[in-house]
Amino acid sequence: MTEALAHLPNFSQLSQRVWRVLGLNPGKFTLQGTNTYLLGTGAQKILLDCGEGKPEYLDHLETSLQQIRPDAFISDIIISHGHRDHWGGLRDILKSEKLNPQNNLQIHKFPVPDGCKVPHMDQFPKDIQVHALVDNQIFNTDEVTLKVIYTPGHSKDHCAFWLEEEQSLFTADCVLGHGTAVFDDLSEYLNGLQRLKSLHPKQLYPGHGPVIENGEDKIQKYIDHRLYREKQVTGLLKEENARQNGLTPLEIVQLLYKGYPGSLHLPAAHSIVMHLVKLQRDGHVIAAEEHELVTENIHKIVETKWKYILQ
């Protein structure tokens, strides 16, 4: 969480059929920037994600595409999920004659499931036609077979993508090249990680950070880390004082993340809340107050006391 980030070039070829184009939006949550990927060995390319809309990204993408081959063009843009740093470049790309010369570029994204509240989709443009992704859907271009893997957890509309020719995964934001990922539903997140692990990927192309070799091992480490955190949270709530008075997520963070800067405590508290919600569903803890986690002020949620239910 506090380690220095590895340098990533703004544009690089990662394999025979995969190129990474950084979104030029480095930051605390985006790391070196959002990874956007061009796929395909021929002129026709699939673009996986398209940054957050930095003005300089369009020129960067156009130049990168021309470097691959002068006649290259983008036929499809696949959006991994609705966080803005993964779709913000859409409008600029659709207006580009270099990237969309025939004006027939198609946009694909997994729809928000019925009944789910996903506030980040309020920002998504309503006037752009989007084709709904379907779990296990297949996309093909030159020497690329890309399969949609629906993996809610990070968000309700999140997908990863299996690259058949390389036995590799584009993990978007459920596995990162550095640090750990945030999530909105821990049970769904762990189920998604287990599904990805079952594919036995050789390497991972994450939404942020460098390529990950030994992909299956990395996913298992993510799973182990979450189960270890759950064990730690449960252990703290079982202590005598906590059994009587309970603990807030912020108090749990202050105990578990002693060596981390205070500025990271609130983001860490969000993941602790998700752990507590999972434990509540599993019948192990109770909260002093009920909260609508999507809309409630996070500061109020992290100050609520939680208690362990004696088994």
> Residue 194, CB half-sphere, CA atoms under 13 Å: how many?
8
Q: Are residues 145 and 200 in the same domain?
A: yes
Residue 221 lies in a domain: no
Q: Are residues 145 and 257 in the same domain?
A: no
Number of structural domains in the chain: 2
End-of-domain residue from the set 181, 214, 247: 214
End-of-domain residue from the set 197, 214, 231: 214
Residue 255 lies in a domain: yes
Q: Are residues 197 and 289 in the same domain?
A: no
Residue 219 lies in a domain: no
Please report which residue ranges of 16-154 form alpha helices under DSSP H. Answer: 55-68, 90-95
Provide the CATH number for the domain around residue 67.
3.60.15.10
Give the span between the Cα atoms of 234 and 282, in whole angstroms.
Answer: 12
Give the span between the Cα atoms of 219 and 222, in whole angstroms.
Answer: 5
Strand-pair partners of 308: 285
Q: Are residues 187 and 250 in the same domain?
A: no
Q: Are residues 189 and 257 in the same domain?
A: no
Q: Are residues 134 and 255 in the same domain?
A: no
Q: Are residues 94 and 191 in the same domain?
A: yes
Beta-strand pair 212-213/203-206: antiparallel
Residue 224 lies in a domain: no
Q: Are residues 260 and 177 in the same domain?
A: no
Assess contact for 212 and 206: CB atoms under 8 A: yes
Radius of gyration of the chain (CA): 21
Q: Containing domain of residue 142, as a range?
A: 11-214
> Cα–chain-centroid distance for residue 108?
17
Please report which residue ranges of the chain form alpha helices under DSSP H. Answer: 55-68, 90-95, 186-197, 215-238, 240-245, 249-256, 265-281, 298-301
Q: Are residues 140 and 31 in the same domain?
A: yes
pLDDT given at position 196: 98
Residue 37 lies in a domain: yes
Residue 225 lies in a domain: no
Strand-pair partners of 307: 286
End-of-domain residue from the set 165, 199, 214: 214
Assess contact for 160 and 80: CB atoms under 8 A: yes
Give, for 39, the enclosing helix (H) or strand (E). strand 35-39
pLDDT given at position 41: 98
Give the span between the Cα atoms of 96 and 118, in whole angstroms.
Answer: 30
Q: Are residues 208 and 247 in the same domain?
A: no
Residue 2 lies in a domain: no
Assess contact for 92 and 53: CB atoms under 8 A: yes
pLDDT given at position 306: 86
Q: Are residues 75 and 147 in the same domain?
A: yes
Beta-strand pair 285-287/138-141: unpaired
Assess contact for 272 and 292: CB atoms under 8 A: no
pLDDT given at position 295: 41
Residue 246 lies in a domain: yes
List per-block mean pLDDT (blocks of 10 residues) for the chain, which spans 311 residues.
Answer: 82 98 95 98 97 97 97 96 97 92 93 89 94 98 98 96 98 96 94 98 98 98 97 94 89 89 82 92 84 53 80 54
Q: Are residues 159 and 249 in the same domain?
A: no
Provide the CATH number for the domain around residue 301.
1.10.10.10
